[in-house]
Chain A
Amino acid sequence: MREGDRKRGGGAPRRKGRVLVVLRSMWHRADGAYALVVIALWLLVSLVSAVWTPHPLIESDGRNAWARPSASYPLGTDGAGHDLLSWLMRGSLTELEVVALVVLCTAACGLLGVWASIGYKSGAGRGSRTWMVCVDTLIAVPTVIVAMVVSVPLGASIAVIVVACAFAYSLSIVRVTRPVAQLAATSQYVEAARSYGVGEARIFFTHIVPAVAPTMAVQLSLSAGTAILAESGLTYLGIGIPAGVPSWGRSLSDCAKLITVYPLTVIWPGVIITAVVVALNLLGDALRDCADPVVNADLRRTMEGGSR
């Protein structure tokens, strides 16, 4: 709430300075540095793969099928003669798309859910309590089942992953952030703002969203990691990324078929997925500590320096 007031009073430049401070203090922690490096590499590789891959993706040369790892094919090729390295590189772009969509949808649905959970005029009325019962019931529906049902009309597509993940994660966000949101909604800032005649929507965005933002950022970064794991699972089951589209889950599923031919090839997609998921999880932890002015003295100094 205090933050919300400042943000309105402050301007873009100071907020930018704050982001830099947060990034710098993350860089000074081992886990934060690892997360930043891996995520930067991931972004770099996906950008490069959009314009260049060592071998064209659809190059399928019958003579090169099942090729051993060599100088020209560092990770070997699959049964159709596709270069596995190129597919993994382009896969990172697809993965980025999946993660971005899941995070965006989860954030949007999560905010809607939070809004419903604090109730109209911030009173925890019957409506918001019923909604929380619904959340508790719906949260029991497993992601795989949602994905299966959604995949019937949509077929295997990114949309299946996004819908299933956003459904599950936004519900858990509502549950986790509800106490914070409730506290903010009943604060005197909100009461004061309402007495000035500030609208409900504006109160929500200036007072409640900033209050739940730190908790939400951590949850979103965790859900980004889980989305990648879900992608690999759902793609293996044939209801995720469709065949012929490169993704890490697709490479992993293809390698599962290769296991009797070149067992060592299986290692790569798994290592990449694990490394990135670890990075996303650590990002959440580091973000929680570094973006919190109470814990991070540097950030506090910047904020106080700015408000003088």
Chain B
Amino acid sequence: MRFVLKRIVAFAVALFVQSIVIFACLRILPGDLAMVIGGTTSTPDQVARIRGQLGLNDPYPLQYLRWLGGVLHGDLGTSQLTGVSVASEIGDRLQITLPLALLSLAVALAIGLPLGVHAVTSRSARVRRTLQVAAIVAGAIPALWGGLLLVMMFGRGVGLIGVLPAQGFPARGWHAFGRALASLALPALSVGVITGAEFMRYTRSALVDVANSDCIAQAMMCGMTRAQAIRRVGLRMVAPQIVSVAGLTFAGMMTGVIVVENLFALPGLATLVMTDLRNRDLLAVQSELLLLTTFFLVMGLVVDVLHHALDPRLKDASEGGGYA
């Protein structure tokens, strides 16, 4: 329990520091929203007036406090360019990015775990070797290329077996459930296969590490075969590590899928950040980045707590241990 409390305090501090870093970094960037709104034909006077209206002339600490105050009250602000509230904009984008990341994670786990286990338990050295090579090669595929290959195979209109849509998201969103799911299939598959290869490598090497441990020997003495022992005992021993990797990978996917989202013309979260950044809509960008950071930190926290819950060995260590 003390461990959890300690982590939550560290989490709050990290979040506060991040908010300052985000705010400061964005203020260093050249150019501002007033110039974007004014356009190329505006006079310096007009730009200055717009800047005054937007509150861009206020001292930075005041701007920071105003933003932070809003965020603490649950108000992420309003995009100064479009007038749409940042929260609803993010909500729209999350409808694509979150299911995409979840689907990709599911695909990755479905591929990576069984094959990773098989790469250790298989009796045939050739199978073990092939799986290992396959994991290394699949992990080295650029996401863009993986997506393109899938489009060539299954994309409607271009593919050999053109059954799945290769572009866009249905306008009605998740109300057209089947079509929405179909439009996420190829992107999720391309991210999932590449990530699955990493999971497989990871599972394999973690299992190899425990395969020679006394626990496995003990299980085999009790009558299990080596494969059974690895599946039942070994997998449980490496579960905490795999949960950590899966959690952090999932967090990384929130922005990591941007290339695939672009390829399949899906307006996702990271694309929103990029567009707003290009327009210098800093109020929107800083809220988006803060939300993303919060998500990463929360995932880190969840993973750590889960790790502790799953691995009783850590309990003793954390009683007296500090942060390091």
| B144 and A256 form a contact (CB under 8 A) | yes
Q: Which residue of A lies closest to B144 (CB)?
A: A236
Judged by a CB distance under 8 angstroms, whether A255 is at the interface is yes
236-264 of chain A: CB within 8 A of chain B? 236-237, 249, 252-253, 255-256, 259-260, 263
Q: Tell me the dominant secondary structure on chain A's binding face.
A: helix
Q: Is the CB of B273 within 8 A of A145?
A: yes
Say yes or no: is B289 at the interface (Cβ < 8 Å to chain A).
yes
B105 on interface, CB distance cutoff 8 Å: no
Please choose the segment from A21-29, A108-116, A201-209, A269-277 that sits at the chain B interface, where 4 or more of its residues have CB less than 8 A away: A269-277
Given contacts A145-B273, A266-B152, are A153 and B29 in contact (CB under 8 A)?
yes
Measured CB to CB, the residues of B under 8 A from A are 10, 14, 17-18, 25-26, 29-31, 136-137, 139-145, 148-149, 151-152, 157-158, 251-252, 254-256, 258-259, 262-263, 270, 273-274, 277-278, 289, 292-293, 296-297, 300, 322-324
A232 at the interface (CB under 8 A from B): yes
B145/A232 in contact, CB under 8 A:
yes
**Is the Cβ of A140 less than 8 Å from the Cβ of B140?**
no
Per-position 1/0 for A146-173, Cβ under 8 A of B = 0011001100000000000000000000
Say yes or no: is A195 at the interface (Cβ < 8 Å to chain B): no
Q: Which of A129, A137, A281, A282 has its CB near the most chain B CB atoms (within 10 A)? A: A137
CB distance from A12 to the nearest CB of B (A): 35
Binding site for B on A (CB under 8 A): 124, 129, 132-133, 136-137, 140-142, 144-145, 148-149, 152-153, 225, 229, 232-233, 236-237, 249, 252-253, 255-256, 259-260, 263, 266, 269-270, 273-274, 277-278, 281-282
- Give the nearest-CB partner of A279 in chain B: B140
Q: Is B148 in contact with A278, judged by CB distance below 8 angstroms?
A: no
Contact of B277 among A136, A148, A260, A282 (CB under 8 A): A148
B255–A140 CB distance below 8 A: no
CB distance from A70 to the nearest CB of B (A): 22
30 example contacts (A-B, Cβ-Cβ < 8 A) are as follows: A129-B323, A129-B324, A133-B14, A137-B17, A140-B296, A140-B297, A141-B293, A142-B254, A142-B256, A142-B292, A145-B255, A145-B270, A148-B273, A152-B29, A152-B277, A152-B278, A232-B142, A233-B258, A233-B259, A236-B144, A237-B259, A237-B274, A259-B152, A263-B158, A266-B148, A266-B149, A273-B142, A274-B142, A274-B145, A277-B142
Contact of A145 among B152, B158, B289, B297 (CB under 8 A): B289
Known: A140-B300, A149-B29, A278-B136. A256 touches B148 (CB 8 A): yes
Q: Contact at B262–A237, with CB atoms within 8 Å? A: yes
With both beta carbons as reference points, the residue of chain B lying nearest to A133 in the complex is identified as B323
Alpha-carbon gap, A149 to B10, bound state (A): 26
Q: Which residue of A lies closest to B25 (CB)?
A: A149
Q: Which 6 A-B pairs have the closest CB atoms?
A: A270-B145, A277-B140, A140-B296, A142-B255, A232-B142, A233-B259
Say what secondary structure dominates the interface of chain B.
helix
Which listed residue (B145, B254, B293) contacts A269, Cβ 8 A?
B145
Is there an interface contact between B142 and A270, defined as CB atoms closer than 8 Å? yes
With a cutoff of 8 Å between Cβ atoms, the chain B residues found around residue A129 in the complex are 322-324
Task: Return chain B residues, CB-CB under 8 Å to A232.
Answer: 142, 144-145
A282 to B30, CA, bound (A): 42
User: A282 to chain B: which residues have CB within 8 Å?
Assistant: 136
Contacts of B143 in A (CB 8 A): 229, 233
When the two chains form their complex, are residues B323 and A132 in contact, meaning their CB atoms are under 8 A apart?
yes
A259 contacts which of B137, B148, B251, B292 (Cβ < 8 Å)?
A: B148
Q: Is the CB of B144 within 8 A of A263?
A: no
Closest to B14 in A: A137
Name the B residues within 8 Å of A142 (CB-CB): 252, 254-256, 292, 296
Complexed CA–CA distance, A278 and B140 (Å): 6
Q: Which of B136, B141, B258, B292 touches A237 (beta carbons < 8 Å)?
A: B258
Given contacts A152-B30, A153-B29, A237-B274, A278 and B144 within 8 Å (CB-CB): no
In the complex, residue of chain B having the shortest beta-carbon distance to the beta carbon of A182? B324
Are B259 and A278 closer than 8 Å at their CB atoms? Answer: no
Residues of B within 8 A of A278 (CB): 136-137, 140
Shortest Cβ distance from A178 into chain B, in angstroms?
8
Contacts of B289 in A (CB 8 A): 145
Q: A129-B324, A149-B277 are in contact. Are A274 and B148 (CB under 8 A)?
A: no
A280 to B: closest C-beta gap in Å: 8
Asked if B293 and A140 make an inter-chain contact with CB atoms under 8 angstroms apart, the answer reads yes
Q: Is A144 a contact partner of B148 (Cβ separation < 8 A)? A: no
Report the bound CA distance from A249 to B25 in whole Å: 28
Residue of A nearest to B201 (CB): A281
Closest residue on chain A to residue B157 by CB atoms: A260
- Nearest-neighbor residue (CB-CB) of A146 within chain B: B25
Closest Cβ of chain A: how far from B303's Cβ, in Å? 11
Expressed in whole angstroms, the minimum distance between the Cβ of B195 and any Cβ of chain A is 13
Q: In the bound complex, what is the Cα–Cα distance between A237 and B259 (angstroms)? A: 7
CA distance A278 to B142 in the complex (A): 11
Which residues does chain A contribute within 8 Å of B140, judged by CB atoms? 225, 229, 273-274, 277-278, 281
**What CA separation (Å) do A259 and B157 show in the bound complex?**
11
Contact status of A260 and B25, CB under 8 A, knowing A142-B252, A232-B144, A270-B145: no
B164 to chain A, nearest CB (A): 15
Q: Add 13 more A-B contacts to A145-B289, A229-B140 (CB < 8 A).
A: A129-B322, A132-B324, A136-B300, A141-B293, A144-B270, A145-B270, A153-B29, A153-B30, A260-B158, A263-B158, A277-B140, A278-B136, A278-B137
